[in-house]
Amino acid sequence: MYSNAYTRLRDQELAKSTKPFQAKGKSVKRCRDCQMGEFACLCEWRPTADSAQGWSQEASVEFVLLMHRKELFKPTNTGRLIVDVFPNTRVYLWNRLEAPEELRELLRDPQRECFVVFPGEDSVENPRKVVQSLPATAKKITLIVLDGTWKQCSRMVGLSRWLDGTPCLSLPKTLVKSYAVRDSGRSDRFSTAEAAISCLVLAGEDKPADMLRHYFNIFNQHYLATRGLRTSEPGESHNALQALLEKCRGGKGT
């Protein structure tokens, strides 16, 4: 059984639930780990901890996933892809009133420069410093990525007084827009994985960005195959991701 920070949090919250979460396509028999239809399983293409560890340690940015509880259970969730590619990613459940203790410590760490990845100009009720690029600094850039629907994320950043002192990183609208599973109806709204890809591009981390982008493309393809009740044939991103992973396993990730 596959385990990382995301799956452990999901299992923890599922154990508390009094009724099962019923997603769309609930009649489809799904893989427990990747949540795709068993006939379109994604697990074969998931980066292993050994192959992805180097990318996570060498990247100049570090991700923290702050999740809305409802997002934990959705097969369409893309935040979990970030955790697959960057196994050091911390994952926390959002709480309106207070920060999770470990996250509070990260926000106070003088060796870190923290940003909330969310368009700050949309948060008119809670104005804060907004940046459109990442600073050149010896500190560890820590990016808090909000994971939920656009409406949920707006509430998360607007209602969390404990985030008021953390500046927002506003992502350029033209960097990444390819999500084929859920559509917000707005061209300036990214999925969680797209936001992370954009952050990596901004940071000049092109190789990790490519790994996450190809993995994200594969996720899209396998989810659409699940929705269409068909198998998924390997394509360009499958081949590209396999080549990247082989370089990692050979110690050539840099």
Divide the 254 residues of the chain into consecutive groups of 10 and give the mean pLDDT of each group.
92 83 72 94 85 64 95 93 93 96 96 86 61 91 94 90 92 59 54 91 89 94 93 94 83 51
pLDDT at 181: 57
pLDDT at 177: 54
pLDDT at 40: 96
Asked if 94 contacts 156 with a C-beta cutoff of 8 angstroms, the reply is yes
pLDDT at 119: 60
Both tokens assigned to 30: 């799904």
Please state the φ and ψ torsions of residue 242, each to the nearest 5 degrees: -60, -40
Identify any residues that bridge with 229 across adjacent strands, giving them in sequence order. Answer: none
pLDDT at 50: 62
Note the pTM of the prediction, 2 decimals. 0.88
pLDDT at 246: 83
pLDDT at 26: 65
Phi-psi region of 114 (alpha: psi -120 to 50; beta: other; left: phi over 0): beta
d(CA 72, CA 35): 12
Distances (CA, A) of 161 to 28, 83, 92, 93, 164: 41, 26, 17, 16, 5
